[in-house]
Structure formats: structure tokens, C-alpha cells
Amino acid sequence: MPNAIRSLATQTYHDLELIVVNGPSTDNTAVVLAEQETLGLAFKITHCPSRNLSESRNIGISAASGDVIFFMDDDAVAHSGWVERIMKSYMQENVGAVGGFTVDHTGISYQCKYTVCDRRGNARFLNTLSPESLLDAGNGFMFPSLLGTNCSFRADVLNAVNGFDDVFAYMLDETDVCVKIFDLGYRILTIPTALVFHKYAPSHSRNTERIPTALLAPARSKVYFTFKHAPEKTIGALSLFEEVNQYRKDIEFANRWYLDHKKITPDHYLELVADLDKGITEGIALGMDRSNFSKRSPFLRDWQPNCGDFKHLRNAVCDEDTTKLRIYFVSQGFPPFDTAGIARWTYECSQGLVALGHEVHVLTRASSKTSHVDFIDGVWVHFLDDQFDDDQIYVSPVPLPDSIVRRATAVHKELARAESIWGVDVVSAPIWDVEGIIAAGYLSKPVVLSLHTTYALTLPFKNHWLEDAEYRSKHVNKVIVAEKWMLDQATRILGNSKEVVLAIDDVYGTNLNADPRVTIVPHGLLISTAVHQKQNASLPHDEINILFVGRMEERKGPDLLLEALCLIKSPIARIKVRFVGKSLENGTSFSVKCLALIDRIRREKKNIDIELIGFVDDAALDTYYQQADIFVAPSRFESFGLILIEAMARGLSIIAGDIGGMREVITNDVDGLLFDLQSIPLLAKKIDSLLTNAELRSTLGKSARLTYGAKFTRDKMAQALEAFFLETIAGVENDPK
């Protein structure tokens, strides 16, 4: 439900009110709804006393004040132009209802495009032929219908047909309304670009495999609909009962299949049999009594909206908001599945830009072998699989390993597909693994290259790259050449620090430092945790906690911290040192070195307790930050050092290497301490100074928090990115080439 509401809050048509009808739910719906009331929509919460879709819809209609009433399920999300595109259709003559195409749970395939139904409740789904053209030559037995999760109706027309029939507690409720509207002579339209993405959720009627858990309501609906709308003049006509009997046979066959294939238990099967019998019996009884057909729901009020001929909509409907950018980030990882640097940065960028009103997409790696699209926390996340036939792989502008080209091809193919659905204004792709190289060569929209640590900058710290000549030749060296190509060809370049630009110039022989294509936007984070106050209360001889966060690899420098711990002289009774991040690789020379240092510390420093925590989720990581007194980042190189602002935001005292982007984040002796990576004794001395001086820890921690607020918040980063992307788009549009 939160994602459904967020998708409505970001609609390009702004004159909306949101009405949520909460039935007899048991899943904390009320709490979830209270959390969503800050999204800026006019918001009404109503309640339905029973599990009855038609009753719920009528309650929603009665609470509505608009001329057009839309319906969407709580397990669906709407394309940002959904409402606007449908509203434009009501400016046509004699339109009573409008829906759109519905995408299924994959976010890629369609659940439904065009739908026509017959007067016995049987649906036909069409992919290319609009029902209006099909029905022009019909005799009224078939009519256009809409899907309940993607439909809208003129409010006055709903009033004229007495709203939804409460007998349809589940299934055929919207179909019944459509046939009544059709019989009044109104047009029912389906707009291909009015998309709703229906991410199926289990309910009281169906389980996660879409197997029915109850059949009473759908069976009753089917039979009642048949009697209510069949064209036969005589209710007891044999053909009606033949239709009911065929329906019974079809459902019985399905139930038996579920049982034979062990999809349901024998008890479940017997329950479905009983439900089917009861539903059919009730449906016949209700259908035989024609007085039921014209009853008005007690939940539906009488009112007259100002619909008129809908000419007033010409002033309300405008072109889709041109200030709302469609921004795509490419990142192999994305939280919570991956919280490494680029993944974390991508998440923070996406959330910050969504908060500014932009539509953000993230193209990331699928954990399964199936590509799919989801809407998560206001962001469209495209999970991409790169296992496709060789003849579908694009030609890279420079030779690259197959795995890299496949990934880059998957990115470009999805961008091309997404452009026809959402539109694309700008793409940001990281230099790491040159994921945007195919898009940069083929896509008509600007592709921005974001700078992070590169292969060439990483190479000196990757012993297995240096030692494996074949891998270095066939993989690493090719990627480095491709990185250079991207640096030369990128439309714009986004740096996170001046230091990474200088480092890249030094290694690649570029001149980015003076290149007008380059803009520096420091990283930013939203840290909601309250400022850590432990260091204010710690006494010199209390337990002190030191925290390291990062992969246990040479570039991150955990060995430097371990060597310094061998040299510290602090009399603190207990020093707990936690290493949080991807574990050491077994059998490598670096791993052997670190384990030997740990063994030495445990033998010689009885007051030091070392814990190798490994990778943790965000909640656990926050706990470790909160328990820490001192944060040490001894990296041999960082293009920026996102971990530093994670620690700064929590008010920790920090020691970091005087190298790369870290020296742009930390001001020595003001909001942290920097040390020369060539001097392990200096690192040990700085650790000692913080271990024994609670006042110094507190002073540095408070200053660090102030620096975070002044320079490194998510909001500041998002505002700078917004300006950068707008400038990029304007530059491309104004380029005479």
C-alpha cells in the first residue's frame, strides 16, 4: 500500500484527492495509512464493515468530490502520467469510463491490454485490437470492459447506474458497471499509455500461487452476473443453466488438478467444493429474483457532480510537467541487497531527487535469472538479467570481456525499452565496470559518467590482478582502456571530489581538472539516527569501542589499523575493535598478513578485543556506529569516503588517511584527525590520543556533526545533482551538433 500511495502522490495531474477504503483488515493498515498522510495528497480514510469490493467502492464513491473517480488496488502502482492521460480522454464525446493497460508483477509483461466481455461474464483479452472497433459490428452481446485495478468512471454516470452492485462481493464488480454504462450508450475507452503496474499480493481469496482459498464469492458473482445480463427474455432459459453447468465443470477440473498436483490438501479441496456448490446456489437464487438487479447500495449517496460536457477539463489538464525529470541511475548493487559505496550513493541520490519531485529509475543486477521491475520507496527499480542469446549482444566501441559487454547491453536494452514507457531525460552510469558504455554509444539521450574508484586506481591494491597475468590481460587491461574511452567520450562527467579527478588525470593522462564537462558534487546522506552522545559520558578507563567499516581488502587498509593497534600504549582497561564489512578472502597473502597481526594483538595486548563481524544489514550497521567511540578509516585510496560522512552524521570522532577524497571531507584537527599512511606510529599516536581524552573525542564529534549538516546531507547533494542534470539536458538540447 505505501508504494501505491506514493505513486499517486507523484502524478503529473495534481488536482487529486485520495480516498482509501479500509475494510476489516488485520495487517496494521491504519498505521501504514497514518505514515502516508505527509505526501501532499488530499487524503480521506473511510471504512467498510465487510469484505466486499462493491461495498468498498460505493463507500469510496460517496466520499469523493471529483467529477471522475479512479480505482486502483493497494498492491498496484501507477505510472506518473496515469491520471493525466486518462483525464484527457474524457474531453472526447460521450465517454463514460476509461482505463489503461495493466502490467503484471514482473513490471515488464502485460497482465491485460484490451478487454471485452460477453453478457455471461466471460472475458476475452485482446493485445492489438481496440474493443470499440471490434464492437461496431456487434449485436450488443459483447461489450468493452476494464480491469478493477486500472479503471475510472464519470461520477455522474456511476450515480446513474446506481454504482456497484453489492452482490458482487468479489469478481465481476467492475464488469457489471461497465455493461450498465455501455447499455446507457456511453463509450468505454482503454488508453495504452495509461499504465498501472499490478504487483500481485495474496488475499483472503487467493494464496501466493494464485490458488483460490475460497470460492463462495466468485461463484456467486459468476452465476448472478449470468442471470442479470444474459440477453434471454426468459430467466429460466436452458442456455443459462448450461452456462452455469459449464462453469461448474471448469472450476471442478481446476480444483481436481490442484489436488492431484499437491497444490492443495484434501481438506482444502473439500472446502472449495462446498464453496462452489453454495456460491452457485446463492447466485441462481439472487439471479432468479429480478428485483435485485435495480437495488441501490445503502452505502451510495445521491449527489450531482459538476460534470457537464467536461469542457472545463481543458483548463485542468495540461501537458505533463516538463520540470519533472526522468533520471536513470545505473548501479550493479542497490540497498538493501547491496550497501557498498556506489550502491549506497545511488540510493541516496534516488531518494533525494524523488523528494524534489523527479521520477527516478535505478537499473541494477537481478539476483535471479529473470528481469523484472519494482517500485520501491518511490523509485522504479529495474532488476536486469544479462543472460540472453549471443546475437542480442551489442558491439562495444572498444574490446571488452563478455561479462562486461553483456551487462552493458542489458543496461542499454532496458533504457531503450523504458524510453517508450516512461521516457528518459538523462542517464548516470558509474565508471566502475563501464556499465554505461553501450548506452553512451547508442542512446540518443545524454549519458553522464560518474567518477568513483576505477580499475586503474584499484590495480596497485589487487594482488590477484597483478599476479594473474592472463586475467589482467583479458579483463583488467581491457576495462582500463574502456574507462579511458568513457572519460574521453562522456557527455558530462560527475565527480565526487577534486582528488579523484586529479588521481584519474595522473593515471590516465587526461586533463579533467580543466575540463568544462566535469562538475564536482560531494556525496550526501540522510542519517535519521540521533547524535551519538556516548563519548561525552565515557571516562578515561571505561571500555572504548573502535569501529572500522569497509571490505577487508588492501585498499581499505585494515592491516594498517591492525599494525597501529600493535603499537598503542593506552592504559584503557578494555578496547573493543570491530571490523564490519566483507570478510577476508581465504588463502590470499593479504588475508594471511591480517590474521597474523590479529593473532599477535591477542597475544600481546590483553586489553584489546578484536571482532571480525563481516557484512551486516543497515540496521545492524547503525547499531555498531551507535556503540562506537572512535571511527578509523585507514584506506590507501578513496575517491570520496562515504563511510566518513556516515560517521560524521552520528557525531563520532574520526581518524582517516590523508589521501584521496578523504582529505576533502575531513579538516585535520577540526572535525577529525588525518594521518600520513606511511607512518604507522603516527596512526597509533592519534588513536592513543583519542582513547585517553574523552573531551577531545567529544569536541571532534560535535564538529564532525556540524560539518555533516553544512556540507554532506542528502538534500544538499540532491539539489546540486538537480542543477547538474538540468544543465546537462539544456547543454545537449542547445548543442548545434
CATH number of 2-201: 3.90.550.10
Instruction: Dump pLDDT digits (tens) for 72-86.
Output: 998 899 999 999 999
Question: β-strand 630-633 against 326-330: which pairing, if any?
Answer: unpaired
682 or 45, which is more confident? 682
Residue 538, pLDDT > 50, answer no
550 CB neighbour count, 10 Å cutoff = 22
| Cell triple for 567 | 603499537
Domain ranges for the chain, please list them: 2-201, 209-288, 326-520, 534-712
The amino acid occupying position 520 is I
Q: Which three cell numbers stand for residue 392?
A: 542480442
Query: How far lies 251's CA from each of 112, 215, 245, 483, in Å?
Result: 22, 9, 10, 59
Is the pLDDT at 217 greater than 70, yes or no? yes
Q: If pLDDT is split at 50, 70 and 90, which confidence band does 608 have? A: very high
Maximum separation of any 2 CA atoms in the chain, in Å: 100
Element (H, E) at 67: none
The CA distances from residue 550 to 435, 453, 563, in Å, are 23, 14, 17
Strand (E) or helix (H) holding 620? helix 618-627
Residue with cell 477440473: 253
Q: What is the pLDDT of residues 417-440, one digit of tens each?
A: 999 999 999 999 999 999 999 999
Place of cell 461495498: 55
State phi, psi for 256 to the nearest 5 degrees.
-65, -40
Whole-number pLDDT of residue 736 = 47
> Do β-strands 110-112 and 95-103 pair in parallel, antiparallel, or remain unpaired?
antiparallel
Task: Summarize the confidence of residues 174-188 as an average pLDDT.
Answer: 94
User: Could you give the 3-state DSSP secondary structure of residue 390?
Assistant: helix
DSSP string covering 643-696:
HHHHHHHTT-EEEEESSTTHHHHPPBTTTBEEE-TT-HHHHHHHHHHHHS-HHH
Which residue from 222, 221, 199, 219 is spatially nearest to 210, judged by alpha carbons? 199
Closest CA to 120 of 175, 161, 165, 164: 175
Question: Of the candidates 632, 637, 552, 628, which has an alpha carbon nearest to the alpha carbon of residue 593?
Answer: 552
201-210, 248-257, 617-626, 667-676: range with lowest mean pLDDT: 201-210
Give pLDDT tens digits for 366-378.
987 789 999 998 9
Mean pLDDT of 686-700: 94
C-alpha to C-alpha distance for 191 and 90, rounded to whole angstroms = 11
Question: 82-110, pLDDT tens digit by residue?
Answer: 999 999 999 988 999 999 999 998 899 99
Parallel, antiparallel or unpaired: strands 379-384 and 372-376: antiparallel
pLDDT in tens, 54-69: 999 999 999 898 889 9
pLDDT of residue 646: 92
d(CA 417, CA 384): 12
The candidate with the shortest Cα–Cα distance to 679, out of 700, 659, 699, is 659
Q: In the predicted model, what is the mean pLDDT of residues 681-690?
A: 95
CA distance to 119, 493, 515, per residue, from 498 (Å) = 69, 12, 12
Asked whether this chain's domains 2-201 and 326-520 adopt the same fold, the reply is no
- Residue 38 banded pLDDT, cuts 50, 70, 90: low
| C-alpha cell recorded at residue 448 | 553522464
Per the model's pLDDT, the better-predicted residue between 550 and 139 turns out to be 550
Q: How confident is the model at residue 147 (pLDDT cuts 50, 70, 90)?
A: very high
Residue with cell 498492491: 75
Helices 680-691 and 558-565, packing angle to 10 deg: 70
Render pLDDT for 397-409 as a digit per residue (tens, 0 to 9). 999 999 999 999 9
Q: What is the pLDDT of residue 537?
A: 43
Look at residue 132 and give its three-state secondary structure.
helix
Burial class (CB in 10 A: 0-12, 13-18, 19+), 516: exposed
The DSSP result for 205-259, as a single string, is SB-TT--BS--HHHHHHHHHHHHHH---SSTT-HHHHHHHHHHHHHHHHHHHHHH
Q: Which of residues 393 and 656 earns the better pLDDT score?
A: 656
pLDDT at 233 over 90: no
Residue 411: pLDDT over 60: yes
Average per-residue pLDDT for the chain: 88
Residues 6+ apart with CB under 8 A from 672: 644, 648, 653, 654, 655, 656, 666, 700, 704
The DSSP call for residue 302 is P
Looking at the predicted structure, is the pLDDT value of residue 167 above 60? yes
Pick the more confident residue, 508 or 23: 508
Cα distance between residue 172 and residue 602, in whole Å: 71
How many Å apart are CA 54 and CA 176, to the nearest integer? 10
Task: Tell which wins on pLDDT, 737 or 523.
Answer: 523
Q: How far out from the chain centre does Cα 612 lie?
A: 32
Between CA 419 and CA 287 the distance in angstroms is 48
What residues form DSSP beta bridges with 525? 713
CA atoms within 13 A of residue 309's CA, in its CB half-sphere:
3
Residues 451-491 pLDDT 10s: 998 999 999 988 888 889 999 999 999 999 999 999 999 99
Res. 536 pLDDT band, cuts 50 70 90: very low
Q: What is the reported pLDDT for 321?
A: 54
How much is the average pLDDT of 258-276?
Answer: 92
Closest CA to 180 of 200, 166, 160, 194: 160
pLDDT for residue 232: 60
Cell (9 digits) for 404: 562486461
Considering the domain delimited by 534-712, tell me its CATH architecture. Answer: 3-Layer(aba) Sandwich (3.40)
Average pLDDT over residues 617-624: 89
Taking the domain 326-520, which CATH number applies? 3.40.50.2000
- Determine the 3-state secondary structure of 521 from DSSP: coil
CB 729 within 8 A of CB 425: yes
Rounded Cα distance between 729 and 346, Å, is: 20
> What is the grid cell recorded at 625?
556506529
pTM: predicted TM-score of the whole model, two decimal places? 0.86
185 burial (CB, 10 Å; 0-12 / 13-18 / 19+) is exposed
With 0-12 / 13-18 / 19 or more C-beta atoms within 10 angstroms meaning exposed / middle / buried, residue 38 is: exposed
Question: Looking at the predicted structure, is the pLDDT value of residue 391 above 70?
Answer: yes
What's the CA gap between 108 and 111, in Å, rounded? 9
Residue 511 has pLDDT above 70, yes or no: yes
